[in-house]
């Protein structure tokens, strides 16, 4: 009994450490995405203060999305080869510099530079923090990715609210107050970096069980599977951006809602997205990431096809169902892709987070143009078919049965 007590004590302490690290990385993700979402939330203020046109506003988005998306796979590739535990702090420092710069920007060039700095900070944060989440997963990779990603969902939703109640009433300079957010994140990331460095020294990252996730795949099958996952990521995020960017306009145009009422429906949808992100990973740990990918993308198709034809009540219900189901896909996609290429956790995370950022930027611009030349209703009729790409999940190889560490119990 004494021997068992001594053996279970270190395991319990290690489990508490893992939970603390996952909580810290999720909170850091929330703080990072609050900073990101502030940029777009203050567009009306920047447009008025600097006399910008819509083309210049679009270029701000492009600058941020370009630096955030294109650099992420490169950062992940480099840090896979040369792990740098404190790079997360440096990335957040870049976001802090961008935040302060945009608070006092008096020229368009300064705004673009600030957007680039925040985008660069994001390009470091996402691949490295995804690696930390996997290291702290205890074998529950899907659960860890869900916990990590839901922090970002919450931060994205929180940013516009903070902008509405603080920045817009009190002016552009109040953005500098949010430097406190970046400083808190840097403190958290410094502590995470210390744990990260010790963990790498103790057991390395490319442990044997990582390589058992998918057995006996040729390089051509791996490439084909990654290509399929990228197409599925495209269909998921392209449809999601149609809701996050234009749902308010659709509700106003179709049902005559006020802006305030339409915002409530958008928050309802964003809440469903956050909930879907939370449940997707743990379910994937139990039944396999491939099954979650198949169910979440193709399974949402009947609801997206119905959405353009129903009344306001059912629009709200369907949007919640769509957000809940579709959001569960991304943690599963990321875990599945990381299993395809063991030892390249950062590069894979950078590739798929970067792809998601890129699709969000390009998709918003394209759908905005399409709505201008046709109608907002036409956009939703066309986008309703995007989840049909989920049929491609049939060509993904089956994974081994998920291995979840057994909980120690008293004998």
For residue range 242-278, list pLDDT tens digits in order: 887 778 778 888 999 886 677 778 878 878 888 888 8
3-state secondary structure of 61: helix
Residue 395 predicted with pLDDT over 50? yes
Model confidence band, residue 6 (pLDDT cutoffs 50, 70, 90)? very low
What is the mean pLDDT of the segment spanning 116-126? 89
> pLDDT value at position 291?
85
Among the ranges given (38-42, 219-223, 233-237, 389-393), the one the predictor scored with the smallest mean pLDDT = 38-42
Contact of 295 with 303, CB cutoff 8 Å: no
Q: Which of 388, 385, 386, 156 is nearest to 266 (CA)?
A: 156
Tokens of 315: 């629009």
Q: Give the domains, in start order, of the chain with CATH numbers.
A: 10-201 (1.20.1250.20), 213-398 (1.20.1250.20)
What is the mean pLDDT of the segment spanning 372-382? 86
What is the mean pLDDT of the segment spanning 78-92? 86
DSSP string, 282-307: HHHHHH-HHHHHHHHHHTTHHHHHHG
Tokens of 346: 């950062």
Tokens of 121: 């900070």
């Amino acid at each position: 009994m004494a021997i068992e007590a001594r053996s279970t004590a270190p395991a319990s302490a290690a489990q508490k450490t893992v939970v603390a690290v996952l909580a810290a990385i999720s909170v850091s993700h929330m703080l990072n995405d609050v900073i990101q979402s502030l940029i777009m939330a203050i567009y009306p203020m920047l447009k008025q203060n600097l006399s910008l046109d819509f083309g210049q506003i679009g270029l701000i988005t492009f600058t941020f999305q370009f630096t955030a998306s294109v650099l992420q796979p490169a950062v992940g590739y480099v840090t896979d080869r040369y792990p740098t535990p404190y790079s997360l702090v440096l990335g957040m420092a870049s976001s802090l510099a961008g935040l302060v710069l945009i608070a006092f920007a008096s020229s368009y060039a300064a705004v673009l530079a600030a957007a680039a700095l925040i985008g660069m900070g994001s390009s470091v944060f996402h691949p490295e923090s995804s690696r930390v989440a996997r290291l702290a997963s205890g074998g529950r990779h899907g659960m860890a990715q869900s916990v990590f990603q839901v922090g970002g969902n919450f931060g994205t939703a929180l940013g516009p609210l903070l902008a509405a109640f603080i920045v817009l009433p009190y002016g552009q300079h109040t953005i500098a107050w949010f430097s406190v957010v970046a400083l808190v994140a840097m403190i958290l990331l410094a502590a995470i970096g210390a744990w990260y460095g010790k963990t790498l020294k103790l057991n390395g990252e490319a442990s044997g069980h990582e390589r058992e996730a998918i057995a006996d795949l040729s390089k051509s099958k791996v490439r084909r599977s990654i290509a399929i996952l990228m197409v599925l990521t495209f269909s998921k995020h392209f449809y999601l951006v149609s809701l996050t960017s234009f749902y308010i306009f659709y509700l106003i145009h179709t049902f005559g809602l006020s802006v305030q009422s339409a915002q409530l429906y958008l928050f309802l949808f964003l809440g469903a997205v956050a909930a879907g992100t939370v449940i997707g990973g743990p379910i994937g740990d139990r039944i396999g990431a491939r099954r979650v990918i198949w169910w979440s993308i193709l399974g949402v198709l009947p609801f997206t096809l119905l959405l353009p034809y129903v009344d306001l009540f059912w629009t709200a219900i369907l949007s919640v169902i769509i957000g809940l189901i579709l959001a569960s896909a991304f943690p599963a996609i990321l875990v599945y892709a990381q299993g395809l290429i063991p030892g390249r956790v950062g590069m894979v995370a950078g590739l798929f987070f970067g792809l998601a950022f890129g699709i969000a930027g390009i998709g918003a611009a394209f759908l905005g143009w399409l709505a201008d030349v046709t109608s907002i209703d036409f956009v939703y009729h066309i986008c309703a078919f995007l989840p049909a790409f989920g049929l491609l999940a049939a060509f993904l190889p089956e994974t081994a049965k998920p291995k979840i560490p057994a909980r120690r119990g008293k004998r």
